[in-house]
Structure 1
Amino acid sequence: MKMKKMLKAVTALVVVAAVVGMLFVSCQKPAPKTLTLMQNKPEIDAQLKAYAKLWGDKNGVTVTIKSIGGTSGGMGPQLKADYAAGDMPDIFAFDGLEAYKEWEGSILDLSSEPWVSKTSVAFKYNGKVYGFPVAVEGWGMAYNADMLAKAGIDPATLVNLDGYRKAFAKLDSMKKELGINSVVSMAAAVEMGWVTAHHNFNSLLSNGLPYGDLSVVNALLKGDVDMQRLKEYADWVELLFKYADKTVLLTGNYDAQVGAFATGKAAFLHQGNWTDPNMKAANATFKMAFAPHGSMEQATDGIFVAAPSFYAINKDSKNLAMAKKFLNDLVSTPEGHNYMVKEAGMIPAFSGIDLNPDGQLSKSVQQWAAAGKVYSWNQYYFSGDFRDKVLTPIYNQFAASQITKQQFIDLMAKAFKDNAQK
């Protein structure tokens, strides 16, 4: 009996020792390195994932890219859900002041990062740098130059409402001859509010004003509405909606809107140079460029150019050093340069990058910027909820002819006044 008890005891000790040994070995095994980036440009999803794989393999890291935007919903709600679940990404994009204020408790100060000295468009707040500029982007009205030439329309006339009225009417009368379904490819579905209540809205806020001029923004934030400027802007919105393909306008997603222009079925596109990869994918070889928005009776000679969004690093991330390296390598390595410019087709926001994008629309943005003919992006001085939940439905109702132009004007004016009282 004693021998049996002794054997049992020895066996138990061996088992315990084995378990402890396994636990010790498992504890010594390094945890796999991971990095998560959430971004708001679905049009570069494939290119960013390919670069992330390349960079991850080189640095021994598994990089997960989450692309939220376009018709897949806004990043704000997803970030809030991830925050509530304790699953915030290491790096995430934000689009401006209001978004920064919403997440400033989670955003790391990046002022001492090496890339800061190489850009003039980093996101700054109270003298400190918190955002890595994703790119420089711009938009006006993209036009098919070959088609305009065939119709005898000089793009130089596209600087105000009158110029666009004449051009749109002429193109509309030649739809069969030109092989187009509509003059303009424009989307105004609720899911496409970033086209109407973000990009188009900015025409009201900054068109014709010196770069950085916030006079219209500040007045509207106080509820003070320049009714003449708003009426002319409503004429512009009405003009775009009138000459747009109704199916694309009311139900079209990003691909439908961009695809109509890329395949020669529309003469104009209300989007920016971020569509260059789509043009390349569609083998769109016709000449194209940007003209100013014609949102006023007076002529304006510029397009909207700025950094579209910024990467922030989650200050509570367990991978701070790796997140910093990911961003810095975009600026400091040939692979990073190639991804930004050649693969994603973006205009780099940093000096010291010799590559230039191949896309015609990006080249057009660079030409406008080089000439100093640019207007600010001021839409982000208004909250995401105001743009998406208040303004977007107003544009959508106008597009669907559920409200008149006067009602559009009245609802917009009321929205600004109500917003000022909050």
Structure 2
Amino acid sequence: MKKFIGVVLGLVLVGSMFMQSAQAQITLMQNKPEIDAQLKEYAATWEKASGMKATIKSCGGGACDLGQQLRADYSAGDMPDIFVIAGLEDYKEWSNIILDLSAEKWAAETDVAFKVDGKVFGFPVAIEGWGMAYNADMLKKAGIDPATLVNLAGYKAAFEKLDSMKAELGINSVVSMAASSEMKWVTAHHNFNSLLSNGLPYGDLSVVNSMLAGTVDEKRLAEYAEWVDLLFKYSDKAVLTTGNYDTQVGAFATQKAVFLHQGNWTDPNIKAANATFEMAFAPHGSMEQATDGIFVAAPSYYVINSESKNIDAAKQFLNDLVFTEAGNDYIVNKAGMIPAFKNITLQPTGPLSKSVQAYAAAGKVYSWNQYYFSTDFRDQTLGPIYNQLANGQIDKAKFIELMKAAIATLKK
């Protein structure tokens, strides 16, 4: 009898351990396909160290709409344990299932967590920035001082000179820019932010609030339209209208374009292309007045699904990114990101990430304000307007007209 009871207890214990093991697994949905391989590699490392499984799913970069995918997953009862939000509008959509993470250890190590009413809900994936990345070697060869790249006049002069030297420099275009329907995150997210925050104090929402009320400063919009038109004019038309992320970044990395309209997240891609030329960021030239900063912030945040059956494992995954050597190595060395946590002492080696850090250290930074507008407004309303201008279907005047009409629809 004792032997029978022992066997039963043993089976119960094994069954309990199996159930715990079965529960100790998480799914993370993230929006940066450029770090998909690195994150999956880290997940495998974490699995060996923790004994828990982490499945990584990537949806973003234009090929996959994260918002649509999350809605489909939620409807199917297959919501990930950890997923990404970009800002306030995303938080509003999912607030009923986003867990309060204020008590987590990592929250005390960052100044850029996503907060609502003083409570921490989002784990900052990294610190990122973008401006106009430039090939310093080519600018030097052309006799162009990067310090002049601070306004419309400076960029017009530089673009004209470089365009006249295309054969000598061996380039296909002055700028590598993408405005296809797949790349609306470059135009209607990142470039759009030039209109929203360039030249304003960090956190200034005056332009945002005016636009959300349906109005826009016409002088500011006209100068911004001049900037967009200038970028498109000096871009390779094939890359501009049909190119994807790899095509756009590749043109710069292989020195077929002098400028790249992207951010420091391209460091790993540029390194993989064996690019060795000197590079850095210059401010956007979307205004007549000179500006001296670039756009820097936490790009997105990991949040935990409060309905998950694996909350403890999800919490550990995030904490281990911050407090383990493997987690730190993944963030900085493998993914090439700038860490958002004060305890992480590793520094990125990528040249564009170093440039972002230099601007941030000097306080020469402007806000990311695009996420005060809904994804649908950016992607479905604004994206096609940029695409039409890129394809020559409308001119600059019509671009301004359509932008004003789109902004007018925001008035409540």
Asked if these proteins are the same fold (TM beyond 0.5), I'd say yes
Match of 2:271 among 280, 283, 303: 280
Match of 1:339 among 330, 341, 355: 330
Instruction: Kindly provide the amino acid, as one letter, of the partner of residue 30 in structure 1.
Output: F
Whole-Å Cα distance in 2 between the matches of residues 27 and 187 of structure 1? 54
Higher mean C-alpha displacement, 30-39 vs 268-277: 30-39
Q: Give yes or no for contact 2:131–2:284 (8 Å, CA) kept in 1.
A: yes
Match of 1:378 among 354, 365, 369: 369
Q: Per-residue deviation at 1:275? A: 0.2
Q: Per-residue deviation at 1:60? A: 1.0
- 1:263-342 to 2 correspondence within 5 Å? 263-342=254-333
Instruction: Kindly provide the amino acid, as one letter, of the partner of residue 53 in structure 1.
Output: A
Residues 180-201 of structure 1 show CA distances to partners (whole Å, capped at 9, x for unaligned) of 0000000000110000000000
Q: Does 1:148 align with 2:136?
A: no
Q: Per-residue deviation at 1:261? A: 0.2
Q: Per-residue deviation at 1:25? A: 9.4
1:30 alignment partner in structure 2: 18
Whole-Å Cα distance in 1 between the matches of residues 213 and 236 of structure 2? 36
Q: Which runs of 5+ in 2 are unaligned?
A: 1-7
Whole-Å Cα distance in 1 between the matches of residues 331 and 365 of structure 2? 22
Higher mean C-alpha displacement, 57-66 vs 300-309: 57-66
For the pair shown, which has the larger CA radius of gyration, 1 or 2? Answer: 1
Q: Per-residue deviation at 1:236? A: 0.1
Whole-Å Cα distance in 1 between the matches of residues 147 and 141 of structure 2? 15
Whole-Å Cα distance in 1 between the matches of residues 411 and 132 of structure 2? 31
Residues 231-267 of structure 1 show CA distances to partners (whole Å, capped at 9, x for unaligned) of 0000000000000000000000000000000010000
Residues 368-390 of structure 1 show CA distances to partners (whole Å, capped at 9, x for unaligned) of 00000000000000000000000
2:178 alignment partner in structure 1: 187
Q: Does 1:78 align with 2:77?
A: no
Q: Give yes or no for contact 2:85–2:301 (8 Å, CA) kept in 1.
A: yes
Moved over 2 A (4+): 23-29
Q: How many residues align?
A: 402
Whole-Å Cα distance in 2 between the matches of residues 28 and 92 of structure 1? 29
Q: Give yes or no for contact 2:62–2:185 (8 Å, CA) kept in 1.
A: no
Q: Give yes or no for contact 2:62–2:184 (8 Å, CA) kept in 1.
A: no
Higher mean C-alpha displacement, 25-34 vs 153-162: 25-34
Give aligned-pair identity as a percent: 71
Q: Does 1:159 align with 2:150?
A: yes
Match of 1:222 among 203, 213, 217: 213
2:3 alignment partner in structure 1: none
- 1:375-414 to 2 correspondence within 5 Å? 375-414=366-405
Match of 1:356 among 347, 364, 382: 347
Whole-Å Cα distance in 2 between the matches of residues 343 and 312 of structure 1? 22
Instruction: Kindly provide the amino acid, as one letter, of the partner of residue 346 in structure 2.
Output: L
Two-structure CA RMSD over aligned residues (Å) = 1.5
Q: Per-residue deviation at 1:164? A: 0.2
Instruction: Kindly provide the amino acid, as one letter, of the partner of residue 299 in structure 2.
Output: P
Instruction: Kindly provide the amino acid, as one letter, of the partner of residue 198 in structure 1.
Output: H
Q: Does 1:115 align with 2:106?
A: yes
Q: Per-residue deviation at 1:359? A: 0.2
Tell me the SS of whatever aligns to 2:18.
coil
Match of 1:242 among 227, 233, 255: 233
Residues 103-138 of structure 1 show CA distances to partners (whole Å, capped at 9, x for unaligned) of 111100001101111101000011111000000000
Instruction: Kindly provide the amino acid, as one letter, of the partner of residue 249 in structure 2.
Output: V
Instruction: Kindly provide the amino acid, as one letter, of the partner of residue 408 in structure 2.
Output: K
Q: Per-residue deviation at 1:29? A: 6.0
1:211 alignment partner in structure 2: 202
